[in-house]
Chains A and B, each alone.
Chain A
């Protein structure tokens, strides 16, 4: 278990204010070589087996792509890892701890945060409220602390620290100009940026991005990728579900191919590119 998994939020704001990235990232100190390990994951809905014994590992500090044709079980796998669904069998291990069957919030609090395929902004909250929501272990999340007269000053103090972090992240993602806007009024691309920014504010070790580039224009896509690479160099680990093969091949160090709920193959982009099975799976042949 890394030290970074549960840092007190108020310490974070004091770090490296000069560096936009350092300001909101407390630094990732994952000790495990493979922070995420998935073993024999299985889930069926009625008669359909969506995930059928998938096993893989994600190496620390990498950008790992998870690809597969439609219906291969990518989104279900994501939901099983992050606790949105409970697996029928199999285990998920994060930073050396068995997290199978934990609630989504318990998993998020251990440092693994996801984004959604269709951006799920909180429409009737402003961008700033969306962002302020994310940081973990806020004192004011205790009802009595928020209400009681003297204690509320502590909450106020922490809110001020959080607000600085939030504005730094807004600047970093270049969405500071829409900070006061209701999230429901944003464009599709802006929502994607908001979601990633919001996920980062939870101070995770690992981010699971479900098709972060779907519906995003090429300029923004490039920008998002730049952000992802910068964050990866800092030590964040990424698992990325994506349809765009070229994008995966050009950006990921490691690629896992899912097919019919199982891991078909995995390896470097070059391995995958030349793999006959993968080509067949994507062209719809019988494997």
Chain B
């Protein structure tokens, strides 16, 4: 407990201060790395946009998972399946109608993007319901098995040739099979600004941006604005989940996490609460998947491998399950350090030492160390394969966290599950009958009415 207390105590503003500090250091590191890499302003802005994009995505996913695991204790390791269903259903609904001879192999229903997004979220929530109905009656680990199996079933279904193309409402639609699906709808930012009638204004802004980035500033501005938009979504997720948690509803979720039988014995329909919590989290995961892939132009089923699910878990564990603030923090740290970090590090090394000739195989890398005690080839090889080693690094971080800091950076916070502060109401006087120094019948001795805590009763801290 002490480490976190120390961190939080040393930073002005507590948790909020910690978040600002960590985000600021991440951006600073990236800017410094950009300088090291010799980026021009355009490169720097692109690098910031990419960093913001992944911070937003992982913060959203980690917040949604926190609702499942941190609040309700639902062990969902099929996150990527809900993301996939969200994206694919969105594509099916919003892709333009099939035209023979066009670039796209299959079409969609041609409905507006926002309709597709809502449909994608609903589909993810309904898949959540279908998974939950049989599995929620089982214990936590069985739900885990069902969810990971589901996510692989989803991936293989989209890979399958049977769903590659079919007819729906008289038009040729489909999921593209293994060759993927072109997301040839109106780009999301354009759709957004057009729908509020600000597209002209936005283009004007892009024009004005030429003062900073002379040639073709649109992709740069698009990236930055989209990143900012994602942070806006993070804020909405945070607001929604904070209100969900700090309420009688969230109280029941917490009780289910602690001991489902007790919640049930106190008259709470725990299955109902679990299903609602699960569906809400799944819809939010679906939306995060949509926001991740929508601007990428294409989607293939193999993007949705289980490792993405474990990325989200690592992000949540870094931040601390059970805390919304921690989830955002964990998402940010994961995106900046573990997800994007290794690539930047590799580029940086490559730029600083441009003429390094790294060995082409592990054998050539290790033999000089054994025969001549020369570690340089191995080091070079390691740096060269750092992207492949990324998963190993993540695994090591996870093991270290589990041993040394299982509660995460901000875990085990007192985010009280109630709408109001639970202090004694001002209208009520403290318990009468002189409790000073009186021996309590519960074995504890009270010293001062409010601060005595559990001197006699505390078993562990």
A residues neighboring B (CB under 8 Å) = 82, 84, 103-105, 108-109, 113-114, 116, 120, 122-126, 128-129, 132-134, 136, 138-143, 146-147, 152, 155-156, 159-160, 163-164, 166-168, 171, 174-181, 184-187, 189-190, 193, 198-199, 202, 217, 219-220, 222-223
Contact = CB atoms under 8 A, between A and B. Distances in A.
B363 interface: no
A133 B263 contact: yes
B269 A105 contact: yes
B418 interface: yes
Contacts of A184: 460
A217 B454 CA distance: 16
Given A128-B422, A202-B266, 7 more contacts: A84-B261, A105-B265, A125-B258, A141-B248, A155-B419, A187-B444, A220-B442
Given A108-B265, A113-B266, A185 B442 contact: no
Contact of B249 (A129, A143, A168): A143
Contact of A202 (B254, B267, B422, B457): B267
Contacts of B243: 146-147, 152
Interface in B257-282: 257-259, 261-270, 273, 276, 280
A151 B32 CA distance: 48
B449 A143 contact: no
A160 B422 contact: no
Interface stretch (B153-161, B351-359, B364-372, B427-435): B427-435
Nearest to A137: B267
B181 to A, nearest CB: 33
Contacts of B212: none
Contact of A181 (B259, B412, B454): B454
B396 interface: no
Summarize B's interface: helix, strand, loop or mixed.
loop
A139 B454 CA distance: 32
A177 B266 contact: no
Contacts of A177: 435, 440, 444, 446, 449-450, 452-453
Contact of A164 (B265, B414, B428, B435): B428
Size bracket of the B interface:
35 or more
A178 to B, nearest CB: 5
A105 B267 contact: yes
Given A155-B248, A156-B420, A123 B442 contact: no
B360 interface: no
B150 interface: no
Given A120-B262, A122-B254, A155-B419, A220 B441 contact: yes
Contacts of B418: 128-129, 132, 159
Nearest to B458: A185
SS class, residues of chain A in contact with chain B? helix
Contacts of A217: 441, 443
A139 B424 contact: no
Nearest to B451: A177
Contacts of B446: 177
A168 B255 CA distance: 22
A44 to B, nearest CB: 22
B416 interface: yes
B296 interface: no
Contact of A167 (B322, B424, B440, B443): B424
B422 A132 contact: yes
B442 A175 contact: yes
Given A129-B422, A143-B280, A159-B418, A174 B254 contact: no
A82 B446 CA distance: 37
18 contacts: A82-B265, A108-B264, A116-B265, A122-B254, A128-B422, A132-B418, A146-B247, A167-B425, A171-B431, A176-B449, A178-B457, A187-B442, A187-B454, A189-B443, A190-B443, A190-B457, A220-B441, A220-B443
Given A147-B240, A160-B425, A185 B249 contact: no
A109 B266 CA distance: 8
B265 A174 contact: no
Interface string B271-303: 001001000100000000000000000000000
A140 B249 contact: yes
B274 to A, nearest CB: 12
Contacts of B450: 177
B459 interface: yes
Contacts of A136: 267
A175 B450 CA distance: 11
B240 A129 contact: no
A190 B454 contact: yes
B270 A174 contact: no
A104 B461 CA distance: 33
A108 B255 CA distance: 16
Contacts of A175: 442
B327 interface: no
A174 B431 contact: yes
A181 B453 contact: yes
A164 B427 CA distance: 9
Contacts of A159: 248, 418-420
A84 B454 CA distance: 32
Given A125-B254, A177-B435, A185 B269 contact: no
B456 interface: yes
Nearest to A149: B243
A82 B435 CA distance: 38
Nearest to B239: A147
A105 B424 contact: no
Contact of A122 (B255, B416, B424, B453): B255
Given A105-B269, A189-B457, A120 B248 contact: no
A180 B459 CA distance: 16
